[in-house]
Structure formats: C-alpha cells, structure tokens
Structure 1
Amino acid sequence: MVSVGDEAPDFTAPLADGDVGSFTLSDHLDEAPVVLAFFPAAFTGTCTTEMCTFRDQMANFEDVGATVYGISIDTPFTLNEFRDQNDLNFGLVSDTNREIIDAYDVSMDFADLGVRDVAKRAVFVVDGSGTVTYAWVSDDPGVEPDYDAVAAAAEEASA
C-alpha cells in the first residue's frame, strides 16, 4: 500500500469535469497539494455523502491552494452525470481499468454482491514534488474520512 513518504504512483486516466478529458497526475502537481479521494461507486449512499462533503468543504481546500479529485471505477460518462446531479465542483477520475486502484493498492470486493475490484474508500494528499504526505485507507466502505484531518494535511503540504 502507498504510504506517507512514498512517491505517488503516476497515472493517466479519463477525467470527468463536465466534459471528458485526460488527467495525468504528474502534469497536475502544480495544483498541489492534490487530494485524491478514492470511492467505491457513484450514486451509492456513503459515496454520495463523501463527495458532497468534499464539495461543501471545498473552500477549506481552496484556501490552502489544494485541488481535490475523486477517483472511482465508474465510466467518465457516469461520473459526469454524478457530478451534475450532485453539483460537484471538482473533477472525477475514471479508473475503469483498475490501474490506479491497483497502483495505490486500494482494491476491495463486495463478494456477497458479486462485485469485485472496486476502490476502497481512501484519501491521499500529494505535494508538489509528487510525495504522499497523507494517507488514509478504510477497510469499511461505510466509514468516511476525517475531513478536517484531510484539510489539515493539505494545508501542511502546501506550506
């Protein structure tokens, strides 16, 4: 698993930001600190709550120059609809090939539902040099991150 002090695994994937473009982490380090918020699936209860909480607390991240991106295995088209329906004010990265969740080692299964290889709920903060300065990973998909801790980590990474 990716830990604090590790170089953040670089990736390129589709970005849902109202349109569909391409996102490469290393090309966005000038937006650092970068908050990568992994979530299992769009349109599910806790995931919607989590992404809406990031939306509602965006000022805390913008105040320290941080940029937030959500990441899930959903298609970019699904993620754009999820953004629209929830008025999300940040981009969502589509990891349909599961390359990002594999690189960050945050894959999980809902075996009882027959759903495999979705993202665990996890948050990583990456500084301008590409180093992970904060890592939180939950094995319980019903648990949300400590948003204040994430904002504090982003502030510390921006200093």
Structure 2
Amino acid sequence: MAETLASARLEKGEVAPAFTLPDETGRSVSLADFRGQKVIVYFYPAASTPGCTTEACDFRDNINSLKSAGYQVLGVSKDGPEALQKFRDEQGLNFPLLSDPELVVHKEYAAYGEKSLYGKTVTGVIRSTIVVDEDGVVELPLYNVKATGHVKSLRKKLGLDA
C-alpha cells in the first residue's frame, strides 16, 4: 500500500483540522483548547537540529509580543515527548511543543509530502506555519517557510510590525 502524502494545502477561510496531540510533558493539547484565541501552529522537521533550533528560538524571543497581540504558539514535530522536553529545556522554549510521530496532523495540514532538498525531490516534513483565528478558521497558511527570519516575516504578514 502506498504511503499517504499530504492532503491539499490549507487555504484562507477553511476550517482548520481539529487535533489533539501530546505535548513535551505527555499532556494532551487540542486546537479546541484555544478557541477564542488566535493560534500560530508551526510544523518543523526535527527538534534540536540547527534550522529548527533557529526557528524555535525566534518564536521564543518573540513570544511576549505575539501573546500581547493575541496569538498563542504551538510547535509540532514528529519527535516524541522526551525529545521535545529535552529541546524545550536546552533552548528555554516558552510555548508548547506537540508530538505527532505518526504524522497524522502533519498530513491533515499538508505539512508532510514532497519537497525539494538540495535540488532533489524527497518526501518529508514541509516547514509550514498555519495561523488559525479565534473561530478555528485558517487566517494565514504559509508553506515552505525559511527557518531564519520566519517570525519577522510572519509578524509583518500579520500586521504586527509597523
């Protein structure tokens, strides 16, 4: 049986797929827990790798201004809770990291599939950020984002930087 790849990319105005995943402590976290708040759900390939560390620390360093603008941040990877806890502790991360080892949520959010890596087509995690509004609707879908400078670009797209 062929492996199921990502569904079609999410579009602005679609209802964001519901999910419940364990965080770095093993506690269940659901998108529904944040109803009434804006949520930035970002997908990254692997904890403690250089690009993912850069991106996570960028979110960490901007968390207060994002929260004051009404946004919660959730990081999602295929890593298990133990690896996520280590990553969180090592980098002093201040937002939940969610574990999706079966890639179910990655696929529902089109954050897993074919991508280009060093000129070759490979199948893997597509670095993606989906901003979900207070009603659970996709406000801003971003795919194939760059780790470096992503939060600055995201803030600009969200109108948070003058």
Would you identify which runs of 4 or more consecutive aligned residues in structure 1 move more than 4 Å? 109-112, 152-156
Match of 1:23 in 2: 29
The aligned runs of 1:144-159 (5 Å cut-off) are: 144=147, 146-152=150-156
Match of 2:135 in 1: 129
Shift of 1:29: 1.7
**Percentage of pairs with the same residue:** 31
Is the 2:16–2:132 contact (alpha carbons within 8 Å) kept by the matching residues of 1?
A: yes
Instruction: Output the CA distance in 2 between the equivalents of 1:25 and 1:155.
Output: 23
Is the 1:133–1:153 contact (alpha carbons within 8 Å) kept by the matching residues of 2?
A: no
Match of 2:5 in 1: none
Q: Which of 71, 75, 81 is the equivalent residue of 1:76?
A: 81
Moved more, 144-153 or 93-102: 144-153
Q: Give SS of 1:20's match.
A: coil
Provide Cα deviations, 1:132-152, integer angstroms capped at 9, x if missing partner: 1011100x7xx2263234235
Structure 1 residue 40 corresponds to structure 2 residue 48: no
Instruction: Output the CA distance in 2 between the equivalents of 1:43 and 1:118.
Output: 17
Instruction: Output the CA distance in 1 between the equivalents of 2:111 and 2:94.
Output: 24
- Code of the residue aligned with 2:62 in structure 1: it is Q
> Unaligned stretches of 5+ in structure 1?
none
Root mean square deviation, CA, Å: 2.3
TM-score (norm 1): 0.83
Provide Cα deviations, 1:28-55, integer angstroms capped at 9, x if missing partner: 223x210001100011110000000100
Match of 2:13 in 1: 5
Aligned residue-pair number: 147
Q: Flag the structure with higher helix content.
A: 1
Is the 2:16–2:137 contact (alpha carbons within 8 Å) kept by the matching residues of 1?
A: yes
Q: Give SS of 2:29's match.
A: strand
- Code of the residue aligned with 2:95 in structure 1: it is F
Change over 3 Å in CA distance of 1:29–1:118 after alignment to 2: farther
TM-score (norm 2): 0.81
Match of 1:120 in 2: 126
**Rg larger for:** 2
